[in-house]
Amino acid sequence: MANTPSAKKATRKIEARTAINKSRRSRVRTFIRKVEEAIVAGDHKLAMEALAVAAPEINRAATKGIVHANLAARKVSRLNSRVKALSA
């Protein structure tokens, strides 16, 4: 348990930051799910639109440190290849 005032403040800051990070991570997962649902439905146009919205969100999460940059790049790349496969 934090005893000093600075440690107590640090605990408050950590809790606030954790809440923000959880929110952002949840938001990214929602956007990814929308792309995947469009892919499963086989709707190329909808999947392209969903990917166009999801890619910047995923990259923003990497910039903010919510996910690793390589993970973000991998997710966008794999989603993009799956969407492209729909048109073929």
Yes or no: say if 69 and 62 are a contact pair by the CB < 8 Å rule. yes
> DSSP class of residue 66?
S
Rounded CA gap, 65 and 75, in Å? 15
Yes or no: say if 38 and 50 are a contact pair by the CB < 8 Å rule. yes
Number of domains in the chain: 1
Which CATH number characterizes residue 51's domain?
Answer: 1.20.58.110
- Please state whether the predicted TM-score (pTM) of the whole model is above 0.75: yes
Number of alpha carbons in the 13 Å side-chain half-sphere of residue 59: 9
The predicted pLDDT at position 87 comes to 83
The predicted pLDDT at position 62 comes to 97
Structural domain containing residue 50: 5-87
Q: What is the pLDDT of residues 39-85, one digit of tens each?
A: 999 999 999 999 999 999 999 999 999 999 999 999 999 999 999 99
